[in-house]
């Protein structure tokens, strides 16, 4: 009954496609136009990828912080380290640059040497005034030397803020308007206004300017992602078309396949626009993925068509058999690949959900396009000539197939020993894998903005913001001397950690107030003692109300304070130790009954997000394995077949994980994707092989060896072709400037190569060794799904 249904269904599909060729082509063209109209809705992300779900406790803490103090990632820094800055011409140019930037609509405030304000005590008043640090507009070398001396030696308040701790460099802090930080206006300001101004300054003075800060890094990083989409699509098309042509030696077959996958790419962009999803570092991979995954569909369909033409030369019969015989098998392989991606939907990460939804939809879409376009286009063309079929008789292909058969026949023990050795080595390697939560690790190392990140890390000891939110549990509790002393103790602890920059908080303003009270003597840059607290704190409160600089470090009620530090790029295991020690120190300094203190900020959110993502992806991969295992058991009506089908697909994943350990490639958001992607694709070969194997068993009256070798010969060539296309197709990602994308491409390529060998050598060997317990009529009773219809009577 199942057999008749399967044959009848796919015969009906074949008739429908071939009888409605024109309508289907018109329908595909209409869908393509409609989806192309959705391209205008595509948006490029203007925020960092938030890997945590909205209701996660770390996100909740971060959102609470934002509700008190607003967007924290609004700071851009431009810095120089050049002694010639303190010459009249260059110093004026630096001050002018700051003024021009400050005049821009997107900028809320700039803090530069040229516009520094100095705190001074007003005579006969309990208040301070902010007065210009530099009052002259004409600079002599003597005046500039004096300015340099006063800045570095008499204004410790600006240490780490305006000048570097080693007193060799200065920088300008540019605070963007908070409402434009996560919008397209940020990109417009940086690309169209800020960068040209900086380049003009560099040209005029010959001084190298280093630029950084999260808004700047995010903008240039996003631009790199956009630039690489076109690069990947072009490279994937070029590589796959060259390989395809090498195998088929047919411009016609190559052109048809390229048109098919190009339409698939157009649909991918259209679906992104239709769903209003942002283009992130993950969704940017989908269009080239569609090319790489779509070409194997074309290979199976065209290869089968040409084999049928070679056998009997009847075009109509060949096209019908392509759809009925390859359609079902290709559907199943695409469904399993889509299932591998669809498991991302089950995670709580919005970033992964969107990637899983779009990828799985587009994999099914490229299957349908291949199934419709290839038979229809060939139906309008002349029957392939002998020269188009010569590739089927290539000597080297026959040599490869013979080698596989020889290995499976005579070297099963060697195959098993090699597999066990690889498994053992892989387990050793897996124990050496590290976890990475670095925000900048995957960024383009050759990019100028990455070099600038390193500059600021060296000169200012950090670039990634880490925030500490302090709740005093009472209004105006922050400005109590006891609270300020506790905050200073915490800041002293932070300064001892080499990965952190000098912390900033209202404590600095209070210290500066005392220094100003004592006629700006830098020796008095300290918190007031108990005798001084009444009048010094009244000065400090007045100062806080009169300056925009540090008022944002205490909320409007005076109950909440923030301590901001900047963190260097830090390895996850080191960060974990730092966080553990820091939380212990906070608990010691701030008693729980009087204070609530929490860590937050972009750096911490990303670190926690990475760990969360790894956990979710392990669950996702486990679900994919379980789903496909159940699918195989249901498809072949045999629980035993689960073991045989999964071993050749899990071993390559373990080998790749072992390689990551030995080569020092850490587990991070980009590399963890390798396993789900590779597993979903590699299991396709297993399905093709086992489907053909079952067909051969029936045809050969359950003669095991003959069936295995026949299946190997029949599917070996197509599996080899598709694996080579996939290997080189994913290899195009290694041309990326992003370390994570390079690792993803290289690791998926390696995994799929291992998977091909496992499916062509280990899988047949297992079937032969376990023939008595697996390959019998009871095990292979009528399957729930007919993957490849039995050969029809001639």
Please determine, looking at this structure, whether the domain spanning 394-431+637-794 carries the CATH number 3.40.50.970: no
SS3 assignment, position 383: coil
- 127-136, 193-202, 231-240, 509-518, range with the lowest pLDDT: 127-136
As a whole number of angstroms, the distance between CA 439 and CA 461 comes to: 16
What integer pLDDT is reported at residue 645 of this predicted model? 78
Report whether pLDDT(31) > 90: yes
Read off the pLDDT band of 406 (50, 70, 90).
Answer: confident
- Beta strands (DSSP E) in 253-374 are 278-279
What integer pLDDT is reported at residue 46 of this predicted model? 56
- 38-47, 399-408, 451-460, range with the lowest pLDDT: 38-47
- Whole-model pTM: value is 0.75
Report whether pLDDT(487) > 90: yes
In the predicted model, what is the mean pLDDT of residues 27-38? 92
Report whether pLDDT(5) > 50: no
Orientation of helix 602-636 relative to helix 572-589, angle to 10°? 130
Report whether pLDDT(694) > 80: no
In the predicted model, what is the mean pLDDT of residues 505-534? 83
Tell me if 1-41+232-393 shares its fold with 394-431+637-794: yes
Long-range contacts of 778-782 (CB under 8 A, 24+ apart): 779/636, 779/638, 779/640, 779/641, 780/636, 780/637, 780/638, 780/694, 780/697, 781/637, 782/2, 782/3, 782/637
In the predicted model, what is the mean pLDDT of residues 572-601? 88
As a whole number of angstroms, the distance between CA 353 and CA 142 comes to: 62
As a whole number of angstroms, the distance between CA 198 and CA 207 comes to: 10
As a whole number of angstroms, the distance between CA 686 and CA 206 comes to: 62
Read off the pLDDT band of 396 (50, 70, 90).
Answer: low
Angle (CA) 308 763 754, round 5°: 95
In the predicted model, what is the mean pLDDT of residues 624-640? 72
- Measured in degrees and rounded to the nearest 5, phi and psi for residue 465 equal -70, 130
Helix or strand run (H / E) with residue 420: helix 412-430
In the predicted model, what is the mean pLDDT of residues 689-714? 76
What integer pLDDT is reported at residue 263 of this predicted model? 92
Read off the pLDDT band of 763 (50, 70, 90).
Answer: confident
- As to burial, measured by CB atoms within 10 angstroms (0-12 exposed, 13-18 middle, 19+ buried), residue 263 is buried
What integer pLDDT is reported at residue 42 of this predicted model? 76
Give pLDDT tens digits for 348-392.
777 778 888 999 999 999 999 998 998 888 888 877 665 555 655
| Per-domain boundaries in the chain | 1-41+232-393, 394-431+637-794
Judge whether 559 and 467 are in contact, CB under 8 Å: no
In the predicted model, what is the mean pLDDT of residues 167-177? 87
Most confident of 171-175, 306-310, 334-338: 171-175
Report whether pLDDT(789) > 50: no
Give pLDDT tens digits for 68-96.
877 667 888 888 988 888 888 888 888 88
Report whether pLDDT(33) > 90: yes
Report whether pLDDT(775) > 70: no
What integer pLDDT is reported at residue 363 of this predicted model? 92
In the predicted model, what is the mean pLDDT of residues 757-774? 78
Which has more confidence, 201 or 186?
201
Mean pLDDT for the chain?
80
Q: How far is CA 199 from CA 177, 207, 211, 349, in A?
A: 23, 10, 11, 39
What integer pLDDT is reported at residue 166 of this predicted model? 84
Q: What is the largest CA-CA distance in the chain?
A: 112
What integer pLDDT is reported at residue 424 of this predicted model? 92
Helix or strand run (H / E) with residue 578: helix 572-589
Give pLDDT tens digits for 553-572.
888 788 889 998 888 877 77
Over the Cα atoms of the chain, what is R_g?
33
Which has more confidence, 227 or 194?
194
- 251-255, 543-547, 678-682, range with the lowest pLDDT: 543-547
In the predicted model, what is the mean pLDDT of residues 635-652? 77
What integer pLDDT is reported at residue 551 of this predicted model? 62
What integer pLDDT is reported at residue 364 of this predicted model? 92
As a whole number of angstroms, the distance between CA 602 and CA 62 comes to: 8
CATH architecture of 1-41+232-393: Up-down Bundle (1.20)
What integer pLDDT is reported at residue 421 of this predicted model? 92
- 134-148, 390-404, 696-710, range with the lowest pLDDT: 390-404
- Residues sharing a CB contact under 8 Å with residue 703, sequence separation 6 or more, in sequence order: 697
């Amino acid at each position: 009954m199942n057999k008749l249904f399967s044959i009848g269904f796919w015969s009906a599909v074949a008739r429908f496609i071939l009888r409605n060729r024109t309508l289907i082509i018109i329908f595909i063209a209409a869908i393509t136009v409609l989806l192309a109209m959705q391209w205008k809705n595509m948006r490029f992300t203007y925020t960092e990828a938030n890997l945590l779900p909205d209701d996660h406790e770390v996100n909740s803490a971060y959102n609470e912080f934002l509700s008190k103090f607003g967007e924290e990632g609004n700071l851009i820094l431009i810095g120089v380290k050049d002694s010639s800055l303190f010459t009249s011409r260059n110093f004026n140019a630096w001050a002018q640059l700051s003024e021009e930037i400050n005049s821009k609509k997107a900028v809320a405030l700039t803090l530069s040497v040229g516009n520094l304000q100095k705190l001074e005590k007003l005579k006969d008043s309990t208040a301070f005034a902010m007065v210009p640090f530099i009052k002259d507009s004409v600079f002599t070398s003597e005046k500039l030397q004096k300015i340099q001396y006063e800045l570095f030696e008499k204004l410790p308040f600006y240490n780490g803020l305006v000048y570097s701790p080693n007193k060799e460099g200065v920088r300008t802090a540019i605070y963007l308007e908070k409402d434009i930080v996560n919008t397209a206006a940020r990109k417009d300001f940086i690309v169209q206004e800020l960068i040209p101004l900086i380049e003009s300054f560099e040209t005029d003075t010959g001084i190298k300017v280093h630029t950084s800060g999260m808004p700047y890094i995010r903008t240039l990083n996003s631009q790199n992602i956009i630039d690489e989409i076109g690069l990947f699509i072009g490279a994937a098309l070029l590589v796959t078309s060259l390989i395809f042509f090498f195998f088929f030696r047919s411009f016609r077959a190559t052109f048809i396949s390229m048109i098919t996958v190009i339409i698939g790419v157009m649909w991918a962009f259209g679906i992104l626009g239709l769903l209003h999803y942002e283009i992130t570092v993950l969704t940017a991979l989908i269009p080239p993925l569609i090319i790489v995954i779509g070409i194997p569909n074309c290979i199976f369909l065209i290869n089968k068509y040409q084999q049928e033409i070679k056998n009997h030369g009847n075009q109509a019969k060949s096209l019908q058999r392509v759809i009925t015989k390859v359609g079902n098998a290709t559907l199943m392989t695409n469904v399993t690949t889509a299932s591998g991606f669809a498991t991302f939907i089950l995670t709580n990460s919005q970033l992964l959900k969107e990637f899983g939804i779009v990828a799985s939809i587009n994999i099914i879409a490229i299957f349908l396009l291949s199934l419709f376009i290839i038979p229809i286009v060939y139906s309008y063309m002349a029957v392939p000539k002998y020269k188009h079929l010569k590739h089927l008789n290539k000597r080297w292909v026959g040599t490869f197939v013979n080698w596989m058969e020889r290995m499976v026949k005579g070297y099963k023990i060697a195959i098993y020993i090699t597999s066990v050795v690889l498994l053992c080595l892989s387990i050793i390697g897996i124990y050496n894998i590290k976890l990475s939560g670095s925000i900048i690790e995957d960024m383009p190392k050759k990019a100028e903005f990455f070099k600038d990140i390193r500059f600021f890390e060296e000169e200012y000891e950090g670039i990634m913001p880490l925030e500490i939110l302090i709740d005093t549990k009472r209004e105006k509790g922050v400005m109590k001397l006891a609270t300020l002393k506790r905050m200073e103790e915490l800041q002293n602890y932070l300064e001892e950690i080499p990965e952190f920059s000098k912390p900033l908080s209202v404590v600095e303003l209070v210290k500066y107030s005392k220094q100003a009270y004592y006629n700006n003597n830098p020796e008095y840059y300290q918190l007031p003692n108990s005798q001084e607290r009444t009048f010094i704190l009244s000065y400090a409160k007045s100062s806080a109300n009169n300056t925009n600089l540090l008022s944002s470090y205490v909320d409007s009620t005076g109950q909440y304070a923030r301590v901001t530090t900047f963190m260097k790029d830090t390895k996850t295991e080191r960060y974990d130790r730092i966080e553990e020690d820091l939380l212990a120190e906070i608990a010691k300094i701030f008693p729980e009954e009087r204070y609530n203190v929490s860590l937050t900020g972009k750096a911490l959110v990303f670190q926690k997000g990475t760990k969360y993502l790894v956990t979710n992806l392990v669950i996702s991969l486990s679900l994919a394995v379980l789903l496909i295992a159940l699918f195989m058991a249901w498809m072949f009506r045999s629980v035993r077949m689960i073991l045989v089908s999964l071993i050749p697909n899990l071993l390559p994943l373990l080998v790749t994980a072992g390689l990551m350990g030995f080569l020092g490639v850490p587990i991070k958001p980009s590399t963890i994707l390798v396993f789900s992607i590779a597993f979903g694709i590699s299991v396709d070969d297993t399905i093709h092989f086992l489907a053909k194997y079952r067909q051969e068993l029936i045809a050969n009256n359950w003669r095991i060896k003959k069936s295995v070798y026949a299946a190997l010969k029949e599917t070996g060539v197509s599996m080899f072709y598709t694996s080579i296309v996939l290997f080189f197709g994913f290899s195009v990602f290694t041309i990326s400037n992003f370390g994570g994308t390079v690792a993803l491409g290289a690791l998926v390529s390696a995994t799929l190569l291992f998977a091909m060998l496992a499916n062509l050598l280990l899988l047949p060997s297992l079937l032969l060794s376990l023939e008595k317990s697996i390959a019998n009529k009871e095990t292979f009773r009528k399957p729930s799904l007919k993957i490849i219809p039995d050969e029809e009577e001639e």
